[in-house]
Amino acid sequence: MTITSDTSAPLIAVVGATGRQGGSVIDALSESPKLYRIRAFTRDANKDAAKALSNRGAEVVAVNFTVDNKEATFKAFEGATYAFLVTNFWEHMQTDREVAEGKLLVDAAAHAKVKLLVWSGLESMAKASNGKYKNVVHFEGKASVTEYAKTVGIPAIADVQAGMYMENYLGQGALALVKKQGDGSYAISNPADPESTVPLINTTHDYGLFVRKVIEAPTHEPFTSVYSYSEVLSQKEIARQLTEGTGKHVTYHQVSEEEYKQDWIAMGLPQATVQEIYESFASHAEVGYYGDKDIGPSLRGLARTPRTWAEFIKVTDWSQVLN
């Protein structure tokens, strides 16, 4: 189904429209038999991804969602029926900024009187671990915005959380999760126990399915949480399937806290960021990526089945990572 300009169709305002999550939301809604108008937000309407959205029928709006641009932010959401909001901590790595900009987006959606706000939040690892892991700040900032959103009078809010991106395993350089070893093999190394598990999702392909499910639900609760993923795999199984699917020898190595941190410090990352990354993996292994939440129901009622890790491996070009 193509995106429509019919004013009788609901208007969905999508933040991060050319990014992984926002782009996935637009793709999933475009696959629906229902008609939607799409207002796609981007900072640069002239880049190819934005032009492609315009060619598909989306209303592309160039806007910077910063606290000093409140008037334009509020104006951008005018007339929206539903809103999808996401922030990108890793773009600037400033928790205060992420929270401030997240709250600005929530306020703009509330001012527009949207019927449903879909927010890409995350669990508080500090809360899930009873205070043990306080420095997973890219989770904490989003959890803070989630709590704020509950206070502004929006009739229905859905917190659609993103699992561990399968795409993260394609990182290179300082972002590499899969690294070449001296003997020519490859290793995924972090402090988590080999049997500890993470919920995986091919974000660009499947995250939008969960947002679409929420939007097209028969009723909208005042607040609901949805946990996006396709399957839950152990660290060891992630490596095993990568070996099986690519023919390259990939193993999982559990490393000590000190060794893990030193590797990141050697790459020039600030100490606070290193602590954040360490606590991310350590907390997910100990208390769970989604804490103690029952995530099974989130897979029900999707328009199609999300890709498995094995399927993602098969359709992905690994030449830049396993070279």
Mean pLDDT computed over every residue of the chain: 96
Is residue 33 pLDDT above 80, yes or no?
A: yes
- What is residue 265's predicted lDDT score, i.e. its pLDDT? 92
Q: Output the six-digit token pair for 138.
A: 């890219």
Vertex 236 angle, CA 233 and 238, to 5°: 50
pLDDT reading at 1 higher than 70? no
Average pLDDT over residues 44-58: 96
Count of alpha carbons within 13 Å of 64, Cβ hemisphere only? Answer: 4
Instruction: Give how far the C-alpha of residue 130 lies from the chain's centroid of Cα atoms, to the nearest Å.
Output: 24
Structure tokens at 179: 């690294």
Spatial strand order in the sheet of 231-234: 164-165, 197-201, 231-234
pLDDT of residue 2: 74
Please report the pLDDT score of residue 83 as a whole number: 98
Exposed / middle / buried, residue 41 (Cβ in 10 Å: 0-12, 13-18, 19+) = buried
Percentage of the chain modeled with pLDDT above 90 = 95
175 pLDDT higher than 90: no
**pLDDT beyond 80 at 250:** yes
Whether the predicted pLDDT of 199 surpasses 90: yes
Predicted TM-score (pTM) of the model is 0.97
Structure tokens at 248: 């390259």
